[in-house]
Amino acid sequence: MRSESSMKVETMKARTSQPSATVAFSNSFLLGFVLVFSSAIGFCTLSSAHYSTLQAGTSDSNYDGGGSNISAFSRFNRYIMQSYYEKYENLFDSDFQDFVAQELPFGLCEVLPHDLSFVVRPSILHRNLIGRGSHRHLTSSIRVNIKPEPIYELPTHHCELIIIERLPSGVFADPFELQHLLQRGAYNAIAVFGDANLELPSFLSNRTAVEVHMDIGHNFLLRHDKESNINIELPLHARYPPLDESGYWEVKFGMPDLFMRCSMEGTSQNQSCLYKMPEINGSELGYANLVWKIPSGMKAHAGIVSTLTFVAALISAIAIAATSIFHSGVASGKHLKES
Amino acid sequence: MVSVQFRTLLIVSAILRVVLILYGEWQDAHMEVRYTDIDYMVFSDAASLMMSGKSPFERSTYRYSPLLAFLLIPNSILHRSWGKFIFSAADLLVGLLIRMILKLRGVPEKLSMISVIVWLFNPFTFTIGTRGNCEPIVCALVLWVFICLMNGRVLQAAFWYGLVVHFRIYPIIYALPILVILDPHVFQPGQKPRLQYWNRWQESPQSSSATRLAQLLCPWFLLKSALTRERILFSFISAVVFFLFTGLFYHLYGWDFLYEALLYHLTRTDPRHNFSIYFYHIYLQYHRKLSILEKLVSFLPQLIVQVVLVLSFAKDLPFCCLVQTVAFVAFNKVMTAQYFVWFFCLLPLVLAWSNMKLKWKGVSCIALWVGGQLHWLLWGYMLEFKGQNVFLQLWMASIIFLAANTYVLVSIIRDHRFSPVFAPLEKTSKDSKKLK
């Protein structure tokens, strides 16, 4: 009995000496964590305090004191769609057409021509939806012509073409992907407006619009009989569409809305002129029917899918439960037999 | 503590991960398909928002604790791959912790090396960290909780447990087995718990499930055994830590934090295709609100499995947590590949007690599990990249994958040698009285 107890003491000693390294590790881990944690809390508190002052700051700058007659809205928006969303909540075609007809200030420039619709002609060379699955690219090739008519002396100016794609319901563009494109230098500016929540199915989300700004050139309006070709490629993604009997949901694309913004060299963008380009009739060119067929669930499947899903889950659960109970019961039985 | 062989293993794994991170940078810049996970971009954006004084939740789809964004702030200052290095370091730390746990339980060197290799060179795990997924940190925290418990440090374990549940909600399923293991016969104040050492053949005796179930159902017994000092302490401290963190971040970031980081995960139903068997059912029923009964029925299989597993295996903590996690992931409403890491970090902890031979049982388990995934991925590719309506086939593939998961789980349970982590401490004062 004495030898047993001395063995026990020895093994106890062995066990206590072994984990000293783990104790040291544990203590340094804890210390490191406390340091990181306290700096995290300090940082978060500082940043959130800053955040609340920023919030107050931005709301002040929205207020515009003057009642200027010239501009229709209180501050200049780089993006047309931004002005649209200031007035309307959701994107509807009728609202957008009203907005373009009434709200936008067109041709409010002193020096540059007021109306370019007889001078500048856009046309679509081709328009396509490349790809086969839920992720496709909408490519458009647009040619902008200056008709050979005399234009008066114009100061040095710079123009950019603004293309607004009002995406149909069920298709969206990822703003972060577009940012990535922007960084690669493809466009002057690009922005997505509307619902960009990637996870919602289409019947729970609103339409989105993509606005692209592309440089069309220096002193563009003076270049008679010259054309500028613009190529755009937008990566688009499909949402889960509503259920359909046929198994596919068709999404139709309309034509893009084109605008041109010209500003004189040396002035800020505030003093630029915005022109609306004439409508392009897609049906003449056969582009009215750009269709994307998105696979959708079929209502007919609902009953059998739900039933079989639950049956499968239940069977698996019972199999696992039975094995656990049986196995742990058998184990103690075996041990008893051996002893 | 760290043998030369293990050190070499760690160094080789570290080099592998560094090479993968560098390769990932190259692929991101030169190829259409990115190596980096989309979630990593979300973390980085949220971190840069936090650095410029804004809330990280302004970044859409950021659904994690603000602590993660804080950890990644050097992404904007030092280099955008800082986060990947942190996650890969956590990955290596998990390997170290696995070895520590195995050593504490007396597993021989060769077996413990094999177990660590199963983690460090598992293709799922080294790609997860290098692609920028934060799961290795959660795994490291869970293993650390185990080590604290094995060393008898209940307060520390409770603190880290509260933190890990704040970070990622799923470890809440380990609460029940941990509470079971905090037995007063094992944890006594002033004494370190006694660990039961690895044994090649013998299985440890335990009362049958029937007796355990009977004990559980008797309310008086339940109350008397539940309210022990260690259990109350652990529950209290971990709850306090969890609510402290939650309260702090709610105070800083408001409702956004509460919804995105917590409530979203609890109520998440994603109709988009994923491995879970429920995805098509959710998509087909999305337009209408499900009744309470339907929601309960869908939760029932998960509940049954979790309760039975805890009842059967709680004393063998790593094994119990492993099977619980596999079942939790398999029966969850949403299942993505990153969840697999949750049980891959626990698998090396139980291999030394498994009777399963690699040939051919082990190989068949691996083949069926990987095969089930590849089959699903094939249909997923047809749906997402070829635009064909294969919803029914994809759903069948997820049912087949559930069957594969069930087969693997059942095999693991059958071939496991149940061995509790702790042995009851001797009541020395009483024994000496008896001797006299």
A238/A225 same-domain check: yes
A268/A135 same-domain check: yes
Average pLDDT over residues A262-267: 71
Q: Is the confidence at residue B317, as pLDDT, over 60?
A: yes
Nearest to B159 by CA among B97, B227, B234, B229: B234
In a domain, A6, yes or no: no
Residues 3-32 of A with CB under 8 A from B: 15-16, 19, 21-23, 25-26, 29-30
Q: Tokens 């603000």 sit at which residue?
A: B66
Q: Is the confidence at residue A18, as pLDDT, over 90?
A: no
In a domain, A13, yes or no: no
Exposure string (b/e) for A179-197, b if CB count within 10 Å is 16 or more?
Answer: eeeeeeeebeebbbbbbbe
Q: Is the confidence at residue A293, as pLDDT, over 80?
A: yes
Residues 142-161 of A with CB under 8 A from B: none
Amino acid at A1: M
A236/A105 same-domain check: yes
A111/A258 same-domain check: yes
The SS3 call for residue A273 is strand
In a domain, B316, yes or no: yes
Number of domains, chain B: 1
**Is A240 in Cβ contact with B283 (below 8 Å)?**
yes
A313/A164 same-domain check: no
**Is A328 in Cβ contact with B208 (below 8 Å)?**
yes
* pLDDT given for residue B331 in this prediction: 94
In a domain, B101, yes or no: no
pLDDT greater at residue B71 or residue A31: B71
* pLDDT given for residue A241 in this prediction: 87
Express each pLDDT in A75-113 by its tens digit.
Answer: 467 788 888 888 888 888 888 888 888 766 665 566 666
Distances (CA, A) of B410 to A36, A289, A317, A324: 42, 54, 11, 8
Contacts of A195 in chain B (CB under 8 A): none
A192/A241 same-domain check: yes
Residue A19 CA to residue A145 CA, distance in Å, equals: 81
E-state strands within A47-134: 120-130
A238/A314 same-domain check: no
Q: Is the confidence at residue A136, as pLDDT, over 50?
A: yes
In a domain, A9, yes or no: no
DSSP B287: T
In a domain, B366, yes or no: yes
Can you say whether residue B219 is alpha, beta or left, with left for phi > 0 and alpha for psi between -120 and 50 degrees? Answer: alpha
In a domain, A14, yes or no: no
Beta bridge partners of A140: A127, A232
**ipTM of predicted complex:** 0.89
A207/A78 same-domain check: yes
Task: State percent of chain B over pLDDT 70.
Answer: 92
Number of domains, chain A: 2
* pLDDT given for residue A48 in this prediction: 47
**Min CA distance, A39 vs chain B (Å)?**
10
Contacts of A309 in chain B (CB under 8 A): 277-278, 280-281, 395, 399
Range of the domain at A285: 61-295
- Mean of per-residue pLDDT scores for chain A: 71
In a domain, B84, yes or no: no
**Is A26 in Cβ contact with B148 (below 8 Å)?**
yes
pLDDT greater at residue B197 or residue B434: B197
* pLDDT given for residue A255 in this prediction: 85
A203/A279 same-domain check: yes
* pLDDT given for residue B370 in this prediction: 95
Q: Is the confidence at residue A299, as pLDDT, over 70?
A: yes
Q: In whole angstroms, what separates CA B339 from the centre of its chain?
A: 8
Beta bridge partners of A264: A157
A222/A332 same-domain check: no
* pLDDT given for residue A36 in this prediction: 60
A205/A125 same-domain check: yes
In a domain, B235, yes or no: no
Q: Is the confidence at residue B308, as pLDDT, over 80?
A: yes
pLDDT class of A146 with cuts at 50, 70, 90: confident
Quick one: how many helices (H) and strands (E) in chain B?
22, 2
Q: Is the confidence at residue A73, as pLDDT, over 70?
A: no
- Span of A50-54, B17-21, B256-260 with lowest mean pLDDT: A50-54
Nearest to B205 by CA among A330, A323, A331, A337: A331
Distances (CA, A) of A19 to A61, A157, B146, B147, B148: 62, 77, 15, 11, 12
Range of the domain at B305: 271-335+354-423
* pLDDT given for residue B398 in this prediction: 96
Could you give the count of Cα atoms lying within 13 Å of A318 in the half-sphere of its Cβ? 6
A243/A307 same-domain check: no
- Phi/psi at B255 (5° precision): -60, -35
Beta bridge partners of A263: A158, A272
* pLDDT given for residue B148 in this prediction: 94
In a domain, B287, yes or no: yes
pLDDT class of A35 with cuts at 50, 70, 90: low
* pLDDT given for residue A144 in this prediction: 79
Residues 32-71 of A with CB under 8 A from B: 40-41, 43-48, 50-51, 54
Q: Is the confidence at residue A46, as pLDDT, over 60?
A: no
In a domain, B214, yes or no: no
In a domain, B364, yes or no: yes
